[in-house]
Amino acid sequence: MERKEEKREKVLVREPITFPQIASLEAISDLSVVGRPVSRTDARLKASGKLAFGGDYPQEGFLHGKILRSPYPHALIKSIRIDKARELPGVIAVLTAGDVPGRNGFGVVIPDQPVICGDKVRFVGDAVALVAAETEAIAQKALSLIEVDYDPLPGVFDPREALKPGASPIHEKGNLLASHKLVKGDVEKGFSEADVILERTYKVPFVEHGYLEPDMTMAIPHADGSVLIQGPMQAPFTLRRNVAAVLGMPINSVRARSVSMGGGFGGKEDSPIDIGCRAAVLAVHTKRPVCLSLEREEVTLQTAKRHPHIMEVKVGAKKDGRIVAFQGTIYNEKGAYASLGPLVNIHSAIMMPGPYEIPHCRVNAYLGYTNHPFGGAMRGFGAPQVCFAHESMMDELALELKMNPLEIRRINAFRLGSKTATGQILKESMGLREAIEACAAAFDWDRRYREAGYGDPERSRRRGVGMALGFYRTSIGTGFDGCGANVYVHEDGSVLLYTGITELGQGSFTVLPQICAEELGVEVEDIRLVAPDTDLVPESGPTVGSRSTTLMGNAILLAARQVKESLLETASEMLFIPVERLEAKKRRLYDRENPGRFVSFKDAAARCMGMGRRLIGQGWWAPPPLGVNSETLQGDPYFVYAYSAQMAEVIVDMQTGEVEVTEHVAAFDIGKAINPQAVEGQIEGGVAMGLGYALMEEVVLKDGYIQNLNFQDFLIPTVLDVPKVKPIILEMKTQYGPYGAKGMGEMPNIPAAPAIINAIAHACGGRVRTLPASPERVYWAMKERAERQRAK
């Protein structure tokens, strides 16, 4: 599997992107459903507490699964005795590594994580035995009766230490899981032309997704040998693939059903695979349905986090502010298992120089295993980490050159036709500069930058303003990006829409029906979306990468058009009007030149059914896979990007280092906003999450043990921490998205933290280079600045 993975990377060099445009942008001005703030289709159920989340489904007759975890970050398993646990009344099964029927490993990219560890444990959350019992309490008791002898090994807790010779090897192939190199131009030549060169190191920690719904899963074996896995999950198809391999079954024997999630943010891409595989093994072994629910502390112990990065940045610029060279080194901490790390590593490398046109760039990204919990996907997939580095560096450079932070960004930011760090030419849908100007105008940057800031030594609470830019892809880019949709129109005009895109709160169950309704010419209420279930819906890939609206939206358009063809043909016969003159809108098919002549959607559908005409459409859409050279990362990695400019105001307490964020303006070019209210919600929520990343969020680790397992110590923003956020939506449409839409679920999270950190520096003079900017860190940053001033 690993070898295959490497092979795939080698053949990634490909021709430039060419694929058909999906929508004629001129024809989309007159929309009746798309572009409107339609209320969520699931809002009423959610407001009344009636929507069933995973743990709300009945559990009568289910066994309860529990996981015995390693107490050591790194150890060999010498022996394991399970007799006592097995004899406990109510215990149905106690399983160890030998009981896994198929492949004893799972993972989104590389299956390097054991379902049950046999010989070795690699972090404190590793599973060494699984228990199924009649009640949760009995299962819990059984865990305490399992005796395991460990032989502890030296732990590796720093990604730089992990790569040194002599470091304790965590996996057989060593501790370097992946390394990527981006090379554009000649960075040495660039630095030789620079008037100013700055070098800085920035660090970001592990953070939790903090979805409020803890993970849970149900595994239900069927008489025909198939198994149903039901629960919150962002990636039912990836889960199915993994569970099938672990059970040693063909993929078509595993059915994955995703129920609406209480938040995911990327975390529920792989945690459901982890517990899904384990519950499935218990269910198949006991031939009974098994429910495996994690407590909050278990979620923190066991599931993926955002990857920590140590980022060394060197930047060279001309006196006038033009950046001529960028060099970055990323030590990307993997933790114990691969999860999505290799893909995050590529993305971090690609995104590190930021949304700036820089002629000479080099980035080296090293992904090293450690004996910590593992990194996975989290809203931004490497981009929030590197954005903190490049945006902090932009402000440090502006300070060095005595320039306004807005001015230096105006000079260097992408424009239409710019060449990115991968050498991609941005040919369309480029709204970064519009976002910068809209944000600056709404925030009143020039005045506030002048009036706030370090300067008045008398004030004990000082205001400062900061800004940051970011960009983000739509799609995964590295494959598995195909999206299928089925549209099924019935003779009464009602519609079923089948997709495998899941609902984690982002609003796809509303936005996708909007696209379907617009294309068919009906209302959102006419569409019933079939919840994702791999036995019912076509392959859709995972709900990640800000891909759902654009990629699945395109698939829905293609599916709806197949049905629409039947409807238009039928309406044309009924009205004696050529098909070319017909328009479908608001449940009518009518003559564009004489809208009074129409047939209802329902009548046309009934007649289609009677005549045996096609009323089921299947659409399939995928962007081309990653088109970059594997040696240099040069090429076109993604087909389109969204852009953002954000500005924040903070007040810093000069005595304590406490920071209050008082205002945040966030402007975006996201192409067409299919549902502006949902877009605003993503912006406000993404900014709040970025505020947490900036100021308070950190999984604190000591010798491999997490110190803050629950919300009492792992702080996420409350309503008192988050200021009013002003969202600004700009629509520079892409010809490759439905109605011109680009992805935007992750984008708001990316520049929020550095905007706040830059505002702190502006307010108090202290530059925090390690997140989060706790009062202590801000205090020491101020101290350090004061000492530097004195030395001068």
Min separation Cβ 139 and other proteins, Å: 16
Shortest spacing between CB 266 and other proteins, in angstroms? 12
User: Minimal distance in Å, beta carbon 726 to other proteins?
Assistant: 9
Helix (H) or strand (E) holding 411: helix 405-412
Nearer to other proteins, 463 or 726 (CB): 726
Task: Give 306 or 588: the residue with its C-beta nearer to other proteins.
Answer: 306
Strands (E), 474-587: 483-489, 495-499, 527-530, 582-585
Q: Please state the closest distance from residue 718 (CB atom) to other proteins, in A.
A: 5
The residue (of 246 and 504) whose beta carbon lies closer to other proteins is: 504
Q: What is the 3-state secondary structure (H, E, C) of 6-69?
A: HHHHHCCCCCCCCCCCCCCHHHHCCCCCCCCCCCCCCHHHHHCCCCCCHHHCCCCCCEEEEEEE
Give the pair of three-digit tokens for residue 718.
């409350």
134 versus 295: smaller Cβ distance to other proteins: 295
CA distances from 180 to 315, 368, 378, 577 (A): 19, 12, 20, 59
CB of 59 to other proteins, least distance (A): 9
Which CB, 412 or 749, lies closer to other proteins? 749
Whether residue 502 contacts residue 512, with contact meaning beta carbons closer than 8 Å, is answered with no
Residue with Cβ nearer other proteins (11 or 719): 719
Residue type, 755: A
Nearer to other proteins by C-beta: 193 or 295? Answer: 295
Output 507 or 521, the one with its CB closest to other proteins. Answer: 507
Least distance (Å) from other proteins to the CB of residue 101? 32
CB of 420 to other proteins, least distance (A): 30
Residue 364, Cβ density class (10 Å: 0-12 exposed, 13-18 middle, ≥19 buried) = middle
The nearest distance, CB 678 to other proteins, in angstroms, is: 7
Burial of 744 (0-12, 13-18, 19+ CB in 10 A): buried
Q: Shortest distance, CB of residue 297 to other proteins, whole angstroms?
A: 9
Chain positions contacting other proteins, by CB under 8 A:
37, 39-40, 42-53, 55-56, 209-214, 260-265, 295-296, 504-507, 677-678, 680-681, 683-689, 710-712, 716, 718-720, 722, 724-725
Nearer to other proteins, 536 or 715 (CB): 715
Shortest CB 645 distance to other proteins, Å: 18
Peptide bond into 772 cis (omega under 30): yes
Least distance from C-beta 680 to other proteins, angstroms?
7
| CB nearer other proteins, residue 290 or residue 299 | 299
DSSP, residue by residue, 500-511: ----SSS-HHHH
Question: Which of 422, 385, 404 shows the shortest CA–CA distance to 306?
Answer: 385
Strands of the sheet containing 641-653, edge to edge, are 461-473, 641-653, 659-669, 725-730
State phi, psi for 204 to the nearest 5 degrees.
-130, 145
Longest CA–CA span in the chain (Å) reads: 89
Phi-psi region of 775 (alpha: psi -120 to 50; beta: other; left: phi over 0): alpha
Handedness of CA 293, 294, 299, 301 (dihedral sign): negative
Residue-wise burial string across 488-511, b where 16 or more C-beta atoms lie within 10 A, e elsewhere: bbeeebbbbbbbbbbbbbbbbbbb
Q: Provide the minimum distance between the beta carbon of 531 and other proteins in the complex, in angstroms, as a whole number.
A: 15
Looking at beta carbons only, is 43 or 251 nearer to other proteins? 43
Least Å distance, CB 409 to other proteins, is 24
Region of residue 587 (phi > 0: left; psi between -120 and 50: alpha; otherwise: beta): left
Distances (CA, A) of 139 to 118, 144, 292: 21, 9, 11
Give whichever of 344 and 687 is closer to other proteins, judged by the CB atom. 687
* Spatial CA neighbour of 602 closest among 528, 519, 492, 516: 492
Of the pair 47, 76, the CB lying nearest other proteins is at 47
The backbone region for 391, taken as left when phi is positive above 0, alpha when psi lies in -120 to 50, beta otherwise, is alpha
Residue nearer to other proteins on the CB measure, 479 or 723: 723
Instruction: Name the 3-class secondary structure at 472.
Output: strand
Residues 6+ away with beta carbon under 8 Å from 363: 180, 181, 182, 326, 327, 328, 329, 330, 349, 350, 352, 353, 421, 633
Burial of residue 611 (number of CB atoms within 10 Å: 0-12, 13-18, 19+): exposed
- Helix, strand, coil shares, percent, the chain, to 5: 35, 25, 40
Three-class SS of 623-660: CCCCEECCCCCCEECCCCEEEEEEEEEEEEECCCCCEE
* Sheet order of strands, 75-81 included: 120-121, 75-81, 147-152
Cβ of residue 215: shortest distance to other proteins, in angstroms? Answer: 12
Q: What are phi and psi of 466, to 5 degrees?
A: -145, 155
The minimum distance between CB 699 and other proteins, in angstroms, equals 15
Joined tokens for residue 598: 């129409």
CA pair distance 294, 297, nearest whole angstrom: 8
Q: Which is nearer to other proteins, 331 or 381 (CB)?
A: 381
DSSP readout, 708-731?
--STTTS----TTT---EEEEEE-
Give the nearer residue to other proteins in terms of CB position, either 467 or 661: 661
Q: How far apart are CA 365 and CA 349, in angstroms?
A: 6
For other proteins, the closer CB: 504 or 537: 504
Beta carbon of residue 46, minimum distance to other proteins (angstroms, whole number): 3
Q: How far is the CB of 124 from other proteins (least distance, A)?
A: 20
Closer by beta carbon to other proteins, 504 or else 695: 504
Phi, psi (rounded to 5 degrees) for 548: -65, -50
Strands (E) across 43-175 are located at: 63-69, 75-81, 91-95, 120-121, 127-133, 147-152
- Amino acid letter at 425? I
Provide the minimum distance between the beta carbon of 71 and other proteins in the complex, in angstroms, as a whole number: 22
